[in-house]
Amino acid sequence: MMKNIYKRAYNETMMNLCDVCGREDGLQNMNMQQCQSCGVCVHETCYGLTNYATEGKKHLGWKCAPCSAIGQKLRVSKPSERYRAISITSRCTECAVCSVNTGNHAMHLLYNRHGEEGTPLVLPANKRKGVEERVAWVHTLCALFIGSREKVIFGCKKDGTYLGEDDEFDDDEESNHQELDGEELLSLNNPHHFVVAGAARDCEDDVWARAIRDVKEARYKCFICGLKNGMKRHTLAIPCCHENCSQSFHVGCARWGKLSERFDRIKFNPGAFNDREEDYNPATALGYCNIHSKKRKDICTVIKKQDLRENISRKLKTEKACLKDSKRQNGSQLPGQKGQNDSLPELKPVTQICVQTNENKIEKKTS
């Protein structure tokens, strides 16, 4: 059941849009790179490649993080366990914080903690589902979005440090984090990996750990995949941005899950500083349920046109098949077998019925 809802997922890459913010190349000076292996498109700013940017240049050999990890052995460890290695044999498509497990999306590794001792989180094997032990990845969109909205996921540099490490937690009740200030924006950029606050069982009881407890204890349930917070260890559903709305969702499910081609549920923009100050493009992380999101008109019309074309070709095929059948049957028909043709010409009786009902109506009106 659950797998099917992602089958027809709307895919930004198919339309050469950024997998993180969903927008085109060159918008507000944001330069796009495309992975040579999986084809995923990302703005440098959206994927944390700002140091990599060289004046709008496209890098033909560029590979995204999950593609570059193939063939590598990653050092992992659990508490009270010695370091060991897990080999990466394929391009990961499974996100640890949402239910989307198909499609090549922009992803980053998920670590068990910040600091030097942090290593990739290990997801346990599940024999029933036929999955082996593996390292955890997150959609870059899921991590950045939840990081800016709920502040329970944060990006780290390769050495485990994170920007704003000494900052105090902002307790402002009113802040819906609709617009992030420059400092927060910077802390989201250039991540090597992400960390979910409180992911390590022995972590200290700090503001991060309390924040994630609040989100998990709220028992938000994703209205798309049906999973509640706390049911699967790392998945995180967050509430709709509309005031007093009771719907919640996983960011990835809302962007790529059921009916994602119809509803523009996730609005994410990591923000970007350009050379000129007035070009500052504020960061936004807004997510809505079906009722409070806008319908994707552009995509809807594309789909409707496709459906229409499919319908027409299907009709033509069945009509041809009917004709063939009737010819064959007429040709091989033996005297006295008339009854077989009854089901063939379907259109005429239908129109006759219509005419009849119209006539009936007219008759009723006039009488």
Identify which of residues 247 and 260 has a Cβ nearer to Zn ion in the complex: 247
Check residue 143 for interaction with Zn ion (CB under 5 A).
no
Figure out which of the listed residues 2, 125, 231, 245 binds Zn ion, where binding follows CB under 5 A: 245
Residue 238 CB, nearest distance to Zn ion (Å)? 11
Check residue 286 for interaction with Zn ion (CB under 5 A).
no
Check residue 250 for interaction with Zn ion (CB under 5 A).
yes
**Number of shown-chain residues binding Zn ion (CB under 5 A):** 27
Length of the chain: 367
Identify which of residues 77 and 280 has a Cβ nearer to Zn ion in the complex: 280
Instruction: Give the per-residue SS3 of the chain.
Output: CCHHHHCCCCCHHHHCCCCCCCCCCCHHHCCEEECCCCCCEEEHHHHCCCCCCCCCCCCCCCCCHHHHCCCCEEEECCCCCCCEEEECCCCCCCECCCCCCCCCCCEEEEECCCCCCCCECEECCECCCCECCEECEEEHHHHHHHHHHCCCEEEECCCCCCCCCCCCCCCCCCCCCCCECHHHHHHHCCCCEEEECCCCCCCCCCHHHHHHHHHHHCCCEECCCCCEECCECCCCCEECCCCCCCCEECHHHHHHCCCCCCEECEEEECCECCCCHHHCECEEEEECCCCCCEECHHHHHHHHHHHHHHHHHHHHHHHHHHHHHHHHHHHCCCCCCHHHHHHCCCHHHHHHHHHHHHHHHHHHHHC
Identify which of residues 106 and 206 has a Cβ nearer to Zn ion in the complex: 106
Residue 168 CB, nearest distance to Zn ion (Å)? 29
Q: What does the alpha-carbon distance between residue 65 and residue 192 come to, in Å, rounded to a whole number?
A: 9
Identify which of residues 57 and 328 has a Cβ nearer to Zn ion in the complex: 57
Identify which of residues 18 and 200 has a Cβ nearer to Zn ion in the complex: 18
Residue 12 CB, nearest distance to Zn ion (Å)? 9
Check residue 253 for interaction with Zn ion (CB under 5 A).
yes
296-355 residues near Zn ion, rule: CB under 5 A? none
Figure out which of the listed residues 98, 163, 195, 286 binds Zn ion, where binding follows CB under 5 A: 98
Please identify, among the stretches 78-86, 127-135, 168-176, 249-257, the one whose residues bind Zn ion according to the rule CB under 5 A: 249-257
Check residue 229 for interaction with Zn ion (CB under 5 A).
no
Token readout for 146 is: 């939840």
Token readout for 182 is: 């420059």
Figure out which of the listed residues 118, 120, 252, 271 binds Zn ion, where binding follows CB under 5 A: 252
Residue 37 CB, nearest distance to Zn ion (Å)? 5
Figure out which of the listed residues 8, 59, 192, 242 binds Zn ion, where binding follows CB under 5 A: 242
Figure out which of the listed residues 41, 67, 69, 146 binds Zn ion, where binding follows CB under 5 A: 67
Please identify, among the stretches 52-60, 126-134, 238-246, 353-361, the one whose residues bind Zn ion according to the rule CB under 5 A: 238-246
Identify which of residues 31 and 352 has a Cβ nearer to Zn ion in the complex: 31
Q: Residues 153, 208: contact at Cβ < 8 Å? A: no
The amino acid occupying position 208 is W
Identify which of residues 290 and 326 has a Cβ nearer to Zn ion in the complex: 290
Residue 133 CB, nearest distance to Zn ion (Å)? 20
Site string for Zn ion, 15-54 (x = CB under 5 A): ---x-xx-------------x-xx----x--x--------
Instruction: Please report where in the chains the tokens 């459906």 appear, as a residue.
Output: 307
Residue 163 CB, nearest distance to Zn ion (Å)? 20
CA Rg value for the chain: 27
Q: What does the alpha-carbon distance between residue 21 and residue 11 come to, in Å, rounded to a whole number?
A: 12
Which residues form the interface with Zn ion (CB under 5 A)?
18, 20-21, 35, 37-38, 43, 46, 64, 67, 95, 98-99, 139, 142, 222, 224-225, 240, 242, 245, 247, 250, 252-253, 289, 292
